[in-house]
Amino acid sequence: MKEELVPIYKKIALDIASKIVKGEIQTDKKISGRSTLAGLYNVSPETIRRAIALLEGMEVVKANPGSGIQILSVTNAERFISSNQDRKYISSIREDIVEIINTRNDLDRRLEENLNEIYDYLERFKSISPFLLIEIPIKNTCKFLERSVNDSRFWQNTGATIVAYRRNKEIIVSPGPNYTFIEGDIIVVIGKDDVFEKVNEFLYE
């Protein structure tokens, strides 16, 4: 998960709010003026002004020119912290979703490339290879609709292996024995030279 870049003035505002909530700054006390805070946090007065403006916007504090910064509400300080944590959490989730989508798209692309390489390999060497890779659509007349590969004893009856299947625009490689035959799927099967006849006869006898 990528860390969100939080502006320095927001970090300062959060730090002040945290000190208010923890009681390190009492509500009946005043915070030092902007110049003093600028020296304390080692930033410019403008950065402090922006931090205090954030807190004033949620009525956590009130800046009184010439007399320091007044604490208004611990509850509002808690709300300020919670609000910014929620935004950070949502931002992090958004980044994670984008990263997952990009990773999935990359995996789909690589899987398709690998399947194409297998097709190409078998096509070029089919004269010496005892195996064929074929695609067979699952129609509504399939005897094993809604049943798994394991339940149908697919391999035992055909000698073939389902290495992948296509569902809509997705390609799933190595689905395993729990794959369920669903109408509209296209299964990718590898087997010996009579695999097409055997699988079709088995599925659509």
What is the CATH classification number for the domain harbouring 41? Answer: 1.10.10.10
Q: What CATH number is given to the structural domain containing 173? A: 3.30.70.1450
pLDDT of the residue at 41: 84
Question: How far from chain centre, in Å, is Cα 138?
Answer: 31
Q: Report the alpha-carbon distance of residue 166 to residue 145 in Å, rounded.
A: 16
Domain stops at, among 59, 76, 93: 76
Neighbouring CB atoms inside 10 A of 155's CB total 14
Sheet with 69-71, side-by-side order of all strands? 30-31, 69-71, 61-63
What is the block-wise mean pLDDT of the chain (205 residues), using blocks of 10 residues? 66 87 77 77 88 90 82 87 66 64 77 72 55 85 92 90 87 86 92 85 89
**Region of 161 on the Ramachandran plot (φ > 0 left; ψ -120 to 50 alpha; else beta):** beta
Asked if residues 160 and 195 have their Cβ atoms less than 8 Å apart, the reply is: yes
Tens of pLDDT, residues 105-137: 777 777 777 777 776 655 655 554 556 778 899
Question: How far from chain centre, in Å, is Cα 188?
Answer: 28
Number of domains composing the chain: 2
Q: Which domain does 169 fall in, by range?
A: 130-202
Q: Report the alpha-carbon distance of residue 36 to residue 45 in Å, rounded.
A: 9
Beta bridge partners of 165: 172, 187
Q: Is residue 156 part of a domain?
A: yes
Tens of pLDDT, residues 18-34: 888 888 877 767 777 77
Q: Is residue 84 part of a domain?
A: no
Q: Is residue 185 part of a domain?
A: yes
Residues 135 and 72 in one domain: no
